[in-house]
Amino acid sequence: MALTLTDDQIAIREAAREYLADRADFERLRKTIDSEAGWDEELWLGFAQELGFAGLGIAEEDGGIGLGAIEQALILEELGRTLAPIPWFESVVLAGGTIARAFPAAKRQELLGRIASGEVATLALRDARGGALPHGIGPRIVDGRLSGEAHYVSFGHAASILIVATGGGNGWDDIGLVAIPADRAGITIERVVSLDLTRPMATVRFDGVELAEGEFVADAGRPLREAWTAAAGLLASEQVGGAARTLDETVAYSIQRVQFGRLIGSFQAMKHRMADMKLLVDSARSAADWAARAIAEGGDFAKAAHGARAYCSDAYLRCAADGIQLHGGIGYTWEHHAHLFFKRARSSATMLDRIDEHRDAIARAIIDEVTA
């Protein structure tokens, strides 16, 4: 189900591709992930402000440039191709989508306007076990103050706005959302080492954090679930970008590397493996496009989003693993970038719930339809 793009959508994709090609090469990526900051703030500001992409998908009345899920999917695929260490997905898609669905107009416009201007926001909710929603939420409101810990907070150390899910012990109906500045007294943020260095994680601790009026929204389980599912479906496009780049790099290497007096790409076994990768990439793109279209159209997009995430996670992992193997010895070295794609594939497969949880969600949706 390939998307038919308009001229404006093609222009958006090309602008992102050209910008990242000029500024997000692997040498710069290596320097960034080895730095103390762990993310590329200069690249972020250019991408968010110079190109204006921080407002993409945010309604004009909320301070953004409008457009929607299809345009966001196009951006995510380009980011996935480069592993750009910037919090566009976390800030614009995940946090922005949650704010748009859950918060009342005045607070929504304030928060989304700040995101559209280039401030970084992220979603903080997981407990130490990282369990599935709604029971994997760590922070709680105790005596009117926010306490507890949120783990696996993507780009948490870079954020100025934290969207914190609370409650969850009694299911979706027990979930509230808090929007607070990351520098509020009682909040400590510790960057932690994780598998994927291109998407840094943090642990955020809340020690009796005082909440101001308008910062808490009760009964936020349904909008959080909808935003979470939409973000999961759009993350599939990022996975497609990574898988496609892995395939491109593998094909390019196969027509350069000579073994036994022949280009390794001429060996039948190599051709078959790369053809299998091509099939996975094309099928994954079809699934991701299906999800993006369903989210853009509104209505019930859950099955499309869950299906895309499950398939694209598997496809990316397979392509990334094959890419390492088909590069031969050099593919297993730290100096080569193949392992960075494999680690992104592994981490994105568990981000926003594991693959089996997405399949379970599809099964439940089908059962509900049959029994309705």
**How far is 132 from 150, CA to CA, in rounded Å?**
13
* pLDDT at residue 372, rounded to an integer: 73
* pLDDT at residue 338, rounded to an integer: 94
Beta bridge partners of 122: 162
DSSP string covering 250-304: HHHHHTT-EETTEEGGGSHHHHHHHHHHHHHHHHHHHHHHHHHHHHHH-S--HHH
pLDDT band at 190; cut points 50, 70, 90: very high
DSSP string covering 84-126: --S-HIIIIIIIHHHHHHHS-HHHHHHHHHHHHTT--EEEE-B
Interval 304-314 mean pLDDT? 96
pLDDT band at 201; cut points 50, 70, 90: very high
Tell me the residue length of the chain. 372
Distances (CA, A) of 342 to 111, 172, 330: 34, 33, 14
**How far is 153 from 201, CA to CA, in rounded Å?**
5
Q: What tens digit of pLDDT does each residue of 4-23 get?
A: 899 999 999 999 999 999 99
Contact 53, 13 (CB under 8 A): no
**How far is 235 from 173, CA to CA, in rounded Å?**
26
Beta bridge partners of 181: 161
CATH topology of domain 222-371: Butyryl-CoA Dehydrogenase, subunit A; domain 3 (1.20.140)
Share of the chain above pLDDT 70, in %: 99
- In this structure, the strands spanning 145-154 and 216-217 are unpaired
pLDDT band at 1; cut points 50, 70, 90: low
Biggest CA pair distance of the chain = 74
Place of tokens 């309705």: 372
Contact 23, 51 (CB under 8 A): no
Q: Identify the CATH homologous superfamily for domain 7-116.
A: Acyl-CoA dehydrogenase/oxidase, N-terminal domain (1.10.540.10)
Distances (CA, A) of 88 to 95, 227, 361: 10, 15, 26
Interval 345-352 mean pLDDT? 95
Residue 169 has pLDDT above 80, yes or no: no
Of 283, 303, 136, whose CA–CA distance to 233 is shortest? 303
Q: What tens digit of pLDDT does each residue of 233-272 get?
A: 999 999 999 999 999 999 998 998 888 888 888 889 999 9
pTM for this predicted structure: 0.95
Q: Which residues, 6 or more positions from 204, have their beta carbon under 8 angstroms from its beta carbon? A: 124, 149, 150, 153, 156, 162, 164, 187, 188, 189, 190
* pLDDT at residue 132, rounded to an integer: 85
Judged by average pLDDT, the poorest of 69-83, 247-261, 287-301 is 247-261
- Residue ranges covered by each domain of the chain: 7-116, 121-219, 222-371
* pLDDT at residue 83, rounded to an integer: 98
* pLDDT at residue 266, rounded to an integer: 83
CATH topology of domain 121-219: Butyryl-CoA Dehydrogenase, subunit A; domain 2 (2.40.110)
Most confident of 1-5, 128-132, 176-180: 176-180
Q: What tens digit of pLDDT does each residue of 29-62 get?
A: 999 999 999 999 999 999 999 999 999 999 999 9
Distance of CA 19 to the CA centre of its chain: 19
Interval 339-354 mean pLDDT? 95
| Mean pLDDT, rounded, of the chain | 94
**How far is 280 from 262, CA to CA, in rounded Å?**
27
What phi and psi values does residue 162 have, to the nearest 5 degrees?
-110, 125
Helix (H) or strand (E) holding 370: helix 355-371
Residue type, 327: H
Distances (CA, A) of 136 to 48, 71, 126, 250: 31, 31, 5, 38
* pLDDT at residue 260, rounded to an integer: 86
